[in-house]
A = this chain, B = another copy of it.
Amino acid sequence: MAGALLFSSRLDDPVAWSKALAALMPDLDIRVSPNLGDPAEIETALVWKPPPGEMAALPNLKLIINLGAGVDPLLADPTIPPHIPVARLGDQPMAQMMSQFVTFAVLRHHRDIAMYQRQQRARQWRYELPRPSYECQVGIMGLGLLGGTAARTLAGLGFNVAGWARSPHTIDGVECFHGAPGLAPFLARTDILVVLLPLTKETRHIVGRDALYCLPRGAKLVNCGRGGTVDEAALLAALEDGHIAEATLDVFEQEPLPPDHPFWGMEQVLVLPHTGSIAIPEISARDVVDNIRRVRAGQPLLNVVDRVKGY
């Protein structure tokens, strides 16, 4: 008898996921945490921040699939058995949804909408000549599926786009920088910085005081990757002294953002509750089912995370 799938997330919708998975694999035995039934029957776990210890208690678990692109919370849990492969979701529709989010944030900064909203509150009609997008230098940190798709989308819309990643990349119409030596020149030419990096040992606080002050004065920041890649104390100081003019923050070092955090009250910061992109069950279920079939057939798995690199 084929093994069961355990769904364990406080954020994703178990009904929508069960429906989407059942449509593709009608005989799949789906259990929703905390109702595991017999733990020995569970073969695959589809999870977002499962309770510590839950995975370790599944003796026949063969695959953990992370409900999203960012695996850092999962890998940070020491109770996750090290021999079980971890895959992450990351399909073109998720990348498209993130690109739309990035496009919104970049256009909003480029068109100075925050300034116009202040003017609206003052009932003030004051027109500034809009600048053409090709004069606006967008820089994307992280050129994986999400960052690469966002870079292509913004270049296609007419922005002057560069990208930075740990390793070399080639993207048509996008100037690509890489590694530690490429970071300062990449930042120096960037008016709007978009951070779409995974959170790893190497990227924690990579956007700190040094990086922020490599950006030209008046630069704007969009973080929709992981909160820990940006040093929030350094960002707060740079926003307060005006070096960073505005920020759109969708991710934070601590989520939910604590109610007393200064970001909430800053006019130049748009605070969003981690809403950049999600896996859509009807679409992402295809990759989940594909990986279940691969586990059963002993075939190579899709989207497996490199635990050493951390993404």
User: Are B120 and A270 in contact, with the CB atoms below 8 A?
Assistant: yes
Chain B positions within 8 Å of A273 at CB level = 116, 119, 125-127
A171 within 8 A of B: no
Stretch among A55-63, A74-82, A100-108 lining the B interface: A100-108
A181 within 8 A of B: no
With A132-B93, A158-B96 as known contacts, state yes or no: A127 contacts B13, CB within 8 Å.
no
Chain B positions within 8 Å of A103 at CB level = 103, 107, 157
A271 within 8 A of B: yes
With A125-B256, A126-B273 as known contacts, state yes or no: A111 contacts B116, CB within 8 Å.
no
Q: Which of A244-276 contact B (CB under 8 A)?
A: 255-257, 259, 264-265, 270-275
User: Are B275 and A130 in contact, with the CB atoms below 8 A?
Assistant: yes
Tell me how far the C-beta of A129 lies from the nearest C-beta in chain B, rounded to whole angstroms: 6
A133 within 8 A of B: yes
With A103-B103, A157-B100 as known contacts, state yes or no: A264 contacts B130, CB within 8 Å.
no
With A97-B132, A120-B270 as known contacts, state yes or no: A275 contacts B125, CB within 8 Å.
no
User: Are B272 and A116 in contact, with the CB atoms below 8 A?
Assistant: yes
Q: Which of A120-151 contact B (CB under 8 A)?
A: 120, 123, 125-130, 132-133
Chain B positions within 8 Å of A120 at CB level = 264, 270-271
With A100-B107, A107-B104 as known contacts, state yes or no: A127 contacts B270, CB within 8 Å.
no
> Pick the contact of A278 from B97, B107, B119, B130 — CB < 8 Å?
B130
A277 within 8 A of B: yes
With A104-B113, A107-B103, A273-B119 as known contacts, state yes or no: A127 contacts B97, CB within 8 Å.
no
Question: In this complex, what residue of B is CB-closest to A94?
Answer: B132
User: Are B274 and A127 in contact, with the CB atoms below 8 A?
Assistant: yes
Question: In this complex, what residue of B is CB-closest to A96?
Answer: B158
User: Are B100 and A133 in contact, with the CB atoms below 8 A?
Assistant: yes
User: Are B272 and A123 in contact, with the CB atoms below 8 A?
Assistant: no
With A123-B264, A157-B103 as known contacts, state yes or no: A275 contacts B108, CB within 8 Å.
no
User: Are A100 and B275 in contact, with the CB atoms below 8 A?
Assistant: no
With A123-B264, A125-B273, A259-B123 as known contacts, state yes or no: A111 contacts B104, CB within 8 Å.
yes
User: Are B13 and A275 in contact, with the CB atoms below 8 A?
Assistant: no
A170 within 8 A of B: no
User: Are A158 and B264 in contact, with the CB atoms below 8 A?
Assistant: no
A11 within 8 A of B: yes
> Pick the contact of A128 from B100, B111, B275 — CB < 8 Å?
B275
A117 within 8 A of B: yes
A280 within 8 A of B: yes
List chain A positions with a Cβ less than 8 A from chain B: 11, 13, 93, 96-97, 99-101, 103-104, 107-108, 110-111, 113, 116-117, 119-120, 123, 125-130, 132-133, 153, 156-158, 255-257, 259, 264-265, 270-275, 277-278, 280, 283
5 new A-B contacts at CB < 8 Å, known A116-B270, A119-B273:
A97-B130, A104-B111, A113-B270, A113-B272, A116-B272
